[in-house]
Amino acid sequence: MATPARRLRAPVAHEAIADHLRRRILAHELPAGAPIDEAALARSYGVLRACVREALNLLFGESLVERDAAGGLAVTRLGAAECRETLALRALLRERASEGAASDTLTQLLELAERRARLAQGAHSGSNR
């Protein structure tokens, strides 16, 4: 007897908005340092600001947005350490893709992501002092 398939959950509005904004940030459609206007985003997506705020909290947790000096949100500017991490990640992906070592690559990617998150947290806590 076959085991029942797991049900997939459809993304809720804030996750869909976060996905869209993430793609725009990573494609540089929203440049580093660009201010983020919660109210304008809520109008453009046709949702309440609370929904946009939840999406932005997800992106903040991924270090894609940061608090600016005025307390608003802006697209994160990457420092030298983050740029080095990104380049190392790209090189690792290229190397591992050619070797076909998917499970090792995933482990190393997670380790790099964790280091980058710690760097970002340090930068955020340092800028809030």
Whether 29 and 45 map to the same domain: the answer is: yes
Which strands sit side by side in the sheet containing 65-67, from one edge to the other?
35-36, 73-75, 65-67
Q: Would you say residue 46 lies in a domain?
A: yes
Q: What is the pLDDT of residues 62-102, one digit of tens each?
A: 888 998 888 899 998 877 677 677 667 767 777 766 666 55
CATH number at residue 56: 1.10.10.10
Q: Which domain holds residue 50?
A: 13-75
Which pairs count as long-range contacts for 117-126, CB under 8 Å and 24+ apart, including other chains?
117/63, 119/81, 119/82, 119/85, 120/63, 120/76, 120/82, 123/66, 123/79, 124/63, 124/66, 124/67
Which single residue is written with the structure tokens 């983020």?
36
For residues 20 and 61, membership in a common domain is answered with yes
- Model confidence at 127, in pLDDT bands (50, 70, 90)? very low
What total number of domains does the chain contain? 2
Q: Are residues 56 and 86 in the same domain?
A: no
Indicate whether 28 and 59 sit together in one domain.
yes
Largest CA distance in the chain: 60
